[in-house]
Amino acid sequence: MVVITGSIATGKSSVCMLLQDCGYVIVDADKIAKELIDANTIKRLFGASFVKNGKIDRKSLGNLVFNNPKERAKLNSYIHPLIKEKIDQEVQVLEAKYTRYIVDIPLYFESGKYDAKFVAVVYCSRDEQIKRLMNRENLSYKEALMRVKSQMDIEEKKIEADYVIDNSKNRSHLLEQSKKFMEYLSANFKI
């Protein structure tokens, strides 16, 4: 299994879209998580105040889990085993069909539960992460910093990775980096 990871606002989703445009199937852990967790589960884990009109109040839930390590651990301990099981199922199907795929796991290093043969990290500096997150989510500096700090530091992920896709410049640079990554995959893996 080849995994692509990163940290919040490093550009992992952009790289995955480029890979998908080039024919890779993306197995997306975040998408799987959203399918597996419903309003009733959130109500049971955290209380009714995190559900509005029968739907998860993602902003309130995000504020809770990004600012409270204990609550984040509660959510992660519930959802990660379910996500792993679903990813394993999807990967088996794709491999049986000899389909080119990448598994997108934002919290790959944090979870420690996946067995990948190769891990690529989409990288930009922490300052850039914060800036992007403030713009994308309309957050204050403090809110963005708390979300960035809730994950393993991107510099540590960069060291742990087998491959680094640099997303610290502009879109054309990211396209070039993604192309090099695909060339590397083609040369080194049968995917």
3-state DSSP assignment of residue 150: coil
Spell out a b/e string for 122-160, using b for 16 or more CB atoms within 10 Å of the CB, else e: bbbebebbbebbbeeeebeeebbbebbebbeebeebbee
Question: Two tokens at 165?
Answer: 């896709």
Tell me: the pLDDT tens digits for 130-161? 999 999 999 999 999 999 999 999 999 999 99
Question: Two tokens at 44?
Answer: 């049971």
Please report, for residues 65, 71, 77, 91, 114, the alpha-carbon distance to residue 61 in angstroms, rounded to integers and kept in the order given.
Answer: 6, 10, 16, 30, 25
Residue 63: pLDDT over 90: no
Q: What's the rounded mean pLDDT across residues 59-79?
A: 91
The letter for the amino acid at 36 is L
Confidence of residue 102 (pLDDT cuts 50, 70, 90): very high
Please state, in angstroms and rounded to a whole number, the distance separating the CA atoms of residues 33 and 29. Answer: 6
In this predicted structure, what is the pLDDT of residue 115?
83
